[in-house]
Homo-oligomer: A and B are copies of this chain.
Amino acid sequence: MQKLSLAIHGGAGTIEKSTMTAQKEKLYKDELERILKAGYQLLNDHASAIDVVDQTVQMLEDFPLFNAGKGSVFTHDKTHEFDASIMCGKNLKAGAVAAVKNIKNPIALAKAVMESSDYVLLSGAGALEFAQLRGIALADTPYFYTQERYDQLMKIIESSSTQLDHAGGKPIGTVGAVARDYQGNLAAATSTGGMTNKRFGRVGDTPIIGAGTYANNLTCAVSSTGHGEYFIRAVVAYDISCLMAYKNMTLYQACEKVVMDKLAKVGGEGGVIATDNEGNIALVFNSPGMYRGGVSKDLPLFSAIYKEE
């Protein structure tokens, strides 16, 4: 049974064709496809799902146009604070970090928490201290500086609100990956810089197992992107798993039910990517767009941005 699958996202939100250039579109799609290709190659080389979602999310974190790692948005205090989590569907182990600074690849730190601590979730300065002890790659503030993100912060501070991501409207930025490997194991990983102008050590759904990330070989692996507060209250990722386990829904039915019905009804904007133990992939969102892509045994590699694609 070699039903390999890999799906990735670079955030969901108000991504309108009218505000995008053909050049920028190509930049996003080329990058999504490059990362998918690299991740799928790893799966074909018999890498484990947990290693592939880690590696794939690190590549997404390194791309400066996505709101995670290098491209993270600015907090109110003109710093960057990262949330990330990872979960293994085989043994239900998980690792996560919240509101941590100066980590080059927050998902690598989340994986280290999973693999070499008795904890699941570390936060703030303590998480940074753990990273230093484990030799996780750090990065100074200038590494995360991009002019576009800084301009966004200045604009939002003027209008004194918070905002979920970069462009106009109400965009939402996060990156994530889900995969099924040769052994039939599932895994999910999610990483974000959170909301532009966030304050008070705000933590979204990204580091919350059950909300932003969930994986269980018996059901599915899920990575969320959207307005985190709604995703926390709706326990989005685990709800999808429960609808499969307890209501016998298919992966797609469960994602549709949670994202297009339950979340949409309460105004929770965003989406999910998910895969199941048959290697099916679902990419479901209720916002105008979601940077996304997938590839599996049955599905040629593809990337997309808008709804109608």
| Most chain B C-beta atoms within 10 Å of own C-beta, residue among A94, A204, A239 | A239
Q: Scoring A residues 209 to 245 as 1 if CB is less than 8 Å from chain B, else 0, what string do you get?
A: 1110010000000000000110011110011001100
Asked if residues A200 and B119 are in contact (CB atoms below 8 Å), the reply is: yes
**CB-defined contacts of A117 to chain B, threshold 8 Å:** 200
Give Cα distance in the complex from A255 to B119, angstroms. Answer: 24
The segment out of A38-46, A123-131, A174-182 that lies at the interface is A123-131
Q: Which residues of the partner chain B approach A239 to less than 8 Å between Cβ atoms? A: 238, 242
Q: Does A208 contact B (CB under 8 A)?
A: yes
Measured CA separation A176–B117 after assembly (Å): 27
Residues in B whose Cβ lies below 8 Å from that of A243: 246
A199 to chain B: closest residue by CB: B126
Provide the bound-state CA to CA distance between A117 and B87, in Å: 30
The reply to whether A122 and B238 contact each other, CB–CB distance below 8 Å, is no
Chain A residues touching B, majority SS: mixed
How long is the Cα–Cα vector from A162 to B118 in the complex, in angstroms? 9
A193 CA to B117 CA in the complex, in Å? 20
Query: Shortest distance in angstroms between A98's beta carbon and chain B's nearest beta carbon?
Result: 6
CB of A189 closer than 8 Å to a CB of B = no
Q: Are A209 and B209 in contact (CB under 8 A)?
A: no
Least distance between A23 CB and chain B CB atoms (Å): 35
Per-residue CB contact flags for chain A residues 116-159 toward chain B (1 = under 8 Å, else 0) read: 01111111111101100000000000000000000000000000
Which residue of B is nearest A100, CB measured?
B201
Identify the closest chain B residue to A92 (Cβ): B233
A266 at the interface (CB under 8 A from B): yes
Q: When the two chains form their complex, are residues A120 and B235 in contact, meaning their CB atoms are under 8 A apart?
A: no
For A119, the closest partner residue in chain B by CB is B202
User: Which residues does chain B contribute within 8 Å of A200, judged by CB atoms?
Assistant: 117, 119, 122, 126-127, 129-130
Picked from B126, B199, B242, the residue with its CB within 8 Å of the CB of A201 is B126
Output the least CB separation between A108 and chain B (Å): 16
A159 to chain B, nearest CB (A): 14
Q: What 10 A-B pairs are tightest by C-beta distance, nearest first?
A: A126-B201, A246-B246, A123-B201, A126-B200, A210-B235, A242-B242, A124-B124, A130-B200, A121-B203, A235-B238
